[in-house]
Amino acid sequence: MRTRRLLGGTMTIALALGAMGAPPISAQGEAPALGAQTDDLGTYLVDGKGMTLYFFTRDVFSGTTMCAGPCAEAWPPMTIAEGQAVATGEGVDGVIGAITRADGTMQVTYDGRPLYTWASDIAPGDTTGQGVGGAWFVALADGSMPVNPPAITLATATSDLGTFLTGKDGRTLYVFTRDTTPGGSVCEGDCAMDWPPLVVAAGNWPAAGEGVTGVVGVAARTDGAWQVTYDGRPLYYWKDDKAAGDTTGQGVGGVWYVADVNGTIPAS
């Protein structure tokens, strides 16, 4: 077996769930090992005990993990002590590294992706974690994994107001003229109760459907939620719209308008 020193890591994003870590896979004095196994799922990584290792598709930022708290109890991270090396077997040709988790432990990465086991795998060769939640997959030795499906795909509708964006169930999306900083929302508290922000779960992404020609992105709100943006403008629903096609929020307070597909809004 070859032995590889770990590449240095960076601090992780701290989730609202906290960073309660599960017991490390490797004991402090015992360096972990990576091997490869091949079956109908392809060639994927296993640890020194032959237990299957997994990638999490929501780990989308280099050097970070999105799995903490209860998630890390179900999916124990593969950890290593500082300065330890990882022994690698035949077929393990990716870049071995490590990141520092919020609890201070160092998690092993493969081609930049954090590695985990699955608490429900009982014996070597078990792969019961494959496909769980549409986000967990065996850690393929070539470093690849499925792409997260979009959490929401923006669409369009057309009326006498023009062509504007719609979200879930065809509901109209709005922009707030007082959001003057790209990606920044000033609609909080009671405002956000009346104008629910369009959000996606951490690590997920929105997509642009047919006719949606602007730049679709996400921006962090002050409460940590990820709000969908269009050409940098945060997007919202309106509480009084009850069905697809409703646009009762148009012009409310002289500051709320349907999210025009061309990205323009009236001046405040």
Residues 123 and 177 in one domain: no
Place of tokens 């061309």: 262
In a domain, 78, yes or no: yes
- Which residue, of 78, 111, 138, is where some domain finishes? 138
Residues 56 and 107 in one domain: yes
By C-alpha distance, which of 202, 199, 180 is closest to 56? 202
Instruction: Look at residue 150 and give its three-state secondary structure.
Output: coil
Residues 129 and 176 in one domain: no
In a domain, 43, yes or no: yes
In a domain, 266, yes or no: no
- C-alpha dihedral over 52, 55, 103, 122, to 10 degrees? -20
* Residue-wise pLDDT tens digits, 226-265: 999 999 999 999 999 999 999 999 999 999 999 999 998 8
pLDDT band, very low/low/confident/very high, at 98 (cuts 50, 70, 90): very high
pLDDT of residue 7: 47
- Which residue, of 104, 138, 172, is where some domain finishes? 138
* Residue-wise pLDDT tens digits, 143-154: 998 887 888 999
Residues 244 and 200 in one domain: yes
Note the helical H segments in 33-150.
70-74
In a domain, 27, yes or no: yes
Q: In whole angstroms, give the CA distance from residue 214 to residue 163.
A: 13
Largest CA distance in the chain: 70
Residues 192 and 214 in one domain: yes
Please check the confidence at residue 266 and state whether its pLDDT lies above 70: yes
> Out of 28-37, 38-47, 166-175, 237-246, which region has the weakest mean confidence (pLDDT)?
28-37
pLDDT > 70: percent of the chain: 88
pLDDT band, very low/low/confident/very high, at 20 (cuts 50, 70, 90): very low
In a domain, 263, yes or no: no
- Which residue, of 108, 138, 168, is where some domain finishes? 138
Please check the confidence at residue 111 and state whether its pLDDT lies above 70: yes
Could you tell me the residue range of the domain that residue 116 belongs to? 2-138
Residues 71 and 121 in one domain: yes
In a domain, 252, yes or no: yes
Please check the confidence at residue 11 and state whether its pLDDT lies above 80: no
Residue type, 234: P
| Number of domains the chain is built from | 2
Both structure tokens of 204? 């997920």
